With several copies, the nearest count.
Chain A
Amino acid sequence: MTETFPIKQPIWCAGCGHFGVLAAMDASFDRLEIPRHDALVLAGIGCSGTVQNHMPSYGYHALHGRVVPSAIGAKLANPDLTVVAAGGDGDGYAIGGGHLLHAFRTNANITYVVMNNETYGLTKGQPSPSNAGGYQGQREMDPIMVGLSLPGSTFLARAYTGAPAQLDDLMDAAINHARAGQGFAFLEVISPCVTYNDNYHEWPSTLVNVDEDEGYDPSDRATAMALNMKLASEGKVAAGLIYRASATLREATGDSPPTPLEGIDLPRFTDSYEQVLDGYVG
């Protein structure tokens, strides 16, 4: 076998939530039997932004905040790939917040996993937009509620790195959703930062697992929104598969599914090129 890049150990602090996310993602490719060479894992900048280095897929280290457009570009260019974007909450909600909004809106077939520790780990602990700021215990920004507010969103889920079984399931579901051409799959994983925001102890009592609620119908956007608003006002946060559109309102990735890109050798196109030129003869 041709030797390729050595898979090093992460340099995260012992106990960092990101270990669990990496493990779940890496294993998910195996569970779903996705050949590693068909997967492109893109990550942002942050402690979280190194996951791709620890898996044997194609990996790309994007700019801070730009992992989502990078991933969408890759997927539009080659729809045959399994494209997974990953990153932190600073990366995804602060500097990348605009792109997230538009990713929900345009619903491209990629999976996006955010490791939310409510802080900027790598730059040493500044507050991020999703932290439980001054809004009487409500998180300043809940990206899943933002997602619910947009008609284009099709998959919204939240896992907890401290609950690995559910994380595994949701990871599989998120990757499958996009691979199956059902659109943008958004998975937030609560992944505490032991060094700057160690709140592992809070999460078990904060998270309310909708997957355990028999009566919960994740295909009903309005109910999902109502529940999330109620939970937020109680200082709680929903976990599980919060919303999955039963049918997409329009095809994913924009107005029409792109044809796969079929090579650019000149001869096969020459005639059509000449036709375009004909339109400019004058």
Chain B
Amino acid sequence: MEKENKVAEPIQIDDVNVLVSGQGGDGSLTVTNMLGSLLRARGMGVYTERDVLSRIKGGKAAASLRGSLNERFVVRDRLQLAVIMDEEGLHGVANRLGGDSVLLYDSSDAPIPEGLISDDVRVLVAPFGRLAVRRLGRILYKNSISTGVVARILSIPDEEVRTEFRARFKRLGGAIIDQNLKALDLGFEIAEGMELSSDTGVFRVDKGDIGERLLMTGNEAIGMGFVVGGGRFFAGYPITPATDVLEFLQRHLPTFGGVAWQGEDELASVNMAIGASLTGVRSGTGSSGPGIALMQEGIGQAGSGEVPLVVVDTQRAGPSTGMPTKPEQSDLNMVCFGGNGDFERIVLVPGDPEDCFWLTVDACNLAQKYQMPVFVVTDQAISQNTASVPRFDLDQVKIDVGKRLSEEDLKSLEKYQRYAITEDGVSPYSVPGTPGGQSLVTGNERDEFGNVTTLPGIRQKMADKRKLKLETAKDDLPKPREYGDESAEIGIVVVNAGWGAGMDAVDELKKLGVASRLHHPRTLWPLTDETRSFIDEKKRVYVIDHSSSAQLSGVLMHAGISSQKLHSIMRYDGTPLRPVDLAEEIYRRETEK
């Protein structure tokens, strides 16, 4: 069922969405990486999304990539190109291909089943795997071969690809470079057979002018934010998709005199971080849902004892062990409302890797300044997907250790009380090692000196003081950001990967004639006045709930937002948020009115 290849002028595009699918461990995902570098070299921003199973080898593994002239944090629903290495990969991709899509298929094992792919898709087929074995001796070369074809499809000049190959395989040595260049040429040869010549393929991708960029995942950006924000102690325990943060810090913290420690479990980890924090060192821990659930008691201890603590929750699809590699935003209730008793906390919800960096820097400052747990909550999508982001301007970073007392400060005081009641709720603190600043820290209720008490009057004052800190912190809390038509009647509220999907959805809606404004709170708890007014001002507000119990909506209502205004759009099938899905759903509801 191979189709006739139409010959025509390449279609000019400025936004290219490609999916590559193979088996875990067969190297097919490197095709995505190579393509990413090629597009970056042409001045585009790129975003790469992985879709793997929680298993070691085998099983479908897919990655998709988007190149665009602006920074975008989602791969669009409709693909320009799908590179599919086996039959299994065809399922699930069919509905993302359309009239102007190309499907490149490795037919080594099986042909494309009849009727699966819609007739208007342009299908190109070659037995990459078989050719790789036959002509180059190793199946792994199928990736370089297909990269050749992909480059031709996108009209990327052969020489640019060769340059990229030389750079990429350089450290692997001459023989490897040569073999891969051979494979590439084989790819070009196959492309010729498909009537795709250098620089005149199916598409021609615009060149962009995005300059130097970092290519980073959200997890890496959080690690970097922690380091730059002055974090010097981190304890964690491996768990998908949060492990990367621990590993980043194990790699980089020692350079800066810091320690990144693998605890025996999450309970040890959170309490180690608390212990470290007592010494004045900025400390944090991180995990994904199940681990954060285990840390609930410890996080409450930081809240009660007024110990600074940064907690990174890299959300994955739950409940319980759930689906470890799948995206979801279903720990929002836990981070805002989990733990026993009443304690104050701040919850930050970044929307892309750059945001991850800055909000983690903020978290380090807020935790120490206000002496409380601060969550940085991401989802699997922004944590593990790679985006090109502007290089972080370190001049913008400020370190604020809050009311820390030196030996001299202490001497000038009449008395030093660790939990002194102050006008802003924040007590000056001294850390072990400082003469004259000896003090008691406890998770029990206590008097100003830190001595345990249950006297009602004191208790009330202590609880009020802790509440006051959150009031005081108000002006320091990261502000929301927005996108789209400021005067639109329709608002859309998102967190995490909702930001990237939402931006595209807003554009999509505009094309459909619907004006909308996207709102990303960034600080989810306590809810900022800006988010409240945004919802107030809009006529209808759609809340993108990546959870089956509409947790984002729940958090908003818990904070006092009326349910009347809010319209939840829910997704909870373990797939990423997709702009067109969102746009279409909003469009449907708007036009049904």
Contact = CB atoms under 8 A, between A and B. Distances in A.
**Residue from B54, B261, B415, B436 whose CB has the most chain A CB atoms within 10 Å:** B261
Given A61-B441, A77-B259, A77-B279, A70 B274 contact: yes
Interface string B233-250: 101011110010000000
A264 B227 CA distance: 9
A94 B290 CA distance: 16
B570 interface: no
A81 B416 contact: no
A58 B438 contact: yes
Interface stretch (B64-72, B128-136, B264-272): B264-272
B432 interface: yes
B138 to A, nearest CB: 18
B451 A6 contact: yes
Interface stretch (A31-39, A198-206, A244-252): A31-39
Contact of B281 (A64, A78, A124): A78
B391 interface: yes
A73 B436 contact: no
Given A95-B265, A277-B391, A5 B440 contact: yes
Nearest to B261: A76
Contacts, number: 264
Interface string B394-430: 1001110000000000110111111000000000000
A260 B232 CA distance: 10
Interface in B297-336: 297-298, 301, 305, 320-321
Instruction: Give the size range of B's interface with the partner.
Output: 35 or more
B37 A276 contact: no
Contacts of B262: 126-127
Interface stretch (B4-12, B55-63, B88-96, B153-161): B55-63
B111 interface: no
B444 interface: yes
B394 A273 contact: yes
A71 interface: yes
A282 B233 contact: no
Contacts of A254: 261
B273 interface: yes
A77 B281 contact: yes
A36 B243 CA distance: 38
Interface residues of A, number: 82
B80 interface: no
Nearest to A82: B432
Given A66-B298, A129-B264, A264-B230, A280 B220 contact: yes
A95 B440 contact: no
B235 A281 contact: no
A77 B433 contact: no
Given A5-B439, A99-B264, A258-B259, A62 B290 contact: no
Interface string A245-282: 00000000010001111101110011011101100111
Contacts of A70: 271-272, 274-275, 278
B415 A4 contact: yes
10 contacts: A2-B413, A60-B440, A63-B320, A66-B271, A73-B278, A77-B283, A81-B279, A81-B433, A261-B258, A282-B36
Interface of A: 1-6, 8, 11-14, 35-40, 42, 45, 47, 50, 52-53, 56-66, 69-78, 80-81, 90, 94-95, 97-99, 101-102, 120-124, 126-127, 129, 195, 254, 258-262, 264-266, 269-270, 272-274, 276-277, 280-282
Interface of B: 36-37, 40, 54-59, 212-216, 220, 224, 227-228, 230, 232-233, 235, 237-240, 243, 252, 254-259, 261-269, 271-283, 290, 297-298, 301, 305, 320-321, 388, 391-392, 394, 397-399, 410-411, 413-418, 431-444, 449-452
